[in-house]
Amino acid sequence: MISVFCALFLLGCGYVPSATYAQKALGERVYVKLNVNLPNPENSVELKDLLNKNIIARFQTRVGSEEEADSIITIDVNKITDTTFAVSSSAFTTYYRVTTYVTYTYDNKKGSRRTFSGSGYFDYNVSLESPLTTYNNRYYAINQAFGQTMDSFVARLSFEGQK
């Protein structure tokens, strides 16, 4: 009963999911092109995979080849920085903040070209005993920061689809 009421309310007020607008902007098929960030190639590929998953899950659009795509999204990882966030009493860095700077360029067959730049950040701790733990924490933090830039891109793309 409550779910029926909620559905009628949302339909009655004119609610349209943002994915509808993004799908309108993207078309039926999308190709994602990546310009790899050489110091962080693994994270760059993770970003492309994450965007491909979001295209399928959020927009209900298919990922296709460059030739058959209605839209091409180019990802440029401009810069990844690590900033000391906290220091121990022994003057060793214990926390870093990783900040990612990403540019998404969106081209469609209609001749529209838009560029969206964004940044994201995430904090991670340093293990003084295990460099591998620190590496894994940084890897995870970069992926989380990339997720923030992608959420911003998706929101902007949805806004573009409303026009």
Phi-psi group of 77: left, alpha or beta (phi > 0 → left; psi -120 to 50 → alpha; rest → beta): beta
pLDDT tens figures, 104-131: 999 987 788 999 999 999 999 999 899 9
CATH of region 26-162: 3.30.160.150
Alpha helices of 13-130 — where are they, by DSSP H?
Answer: 18-26, 41-59
Q: Taking the model in full, what pTM does it have? A: 0.82
Q: Give the C-alpha separation, 143 to 47, whole Å.
A: 7
Q: What pLDDT is attached to residue 26?
A: 80
- Per-domain boundaries in the chain: 26-162
Give me the residue label for tokens 């060793």. 92
Q: What is the pLDDT of residue 59?
A: 79
**Which residues touch 63 (CB under 8 Å, ≥6 apart)?**
29, 30, 31, 32, 52, 55, 56
Instruction: Give the pLDDT score at 12.
Output: 60
Rg of the chain over all Cα atoms, to the nearest angstrom: 19
| Per-residue pLDDT at 37 | 86
H or E segment to which residue 102 belongs: strand 93-108
pLDDT of 4 reads: 66
Outline where the chain has alpha helix (H): 2-12, 18-26, 41-59, 131-162
Give dist(CA 119, CA 147) in Å, integer: 10
For residues 63 and 31, the answer to whether their CB atoms sit within 8 Å is yes
Q: What is the pLDDT of residue 8?
A: 59
Residues of the chain short of pLDDT 50, as ranges, are: none
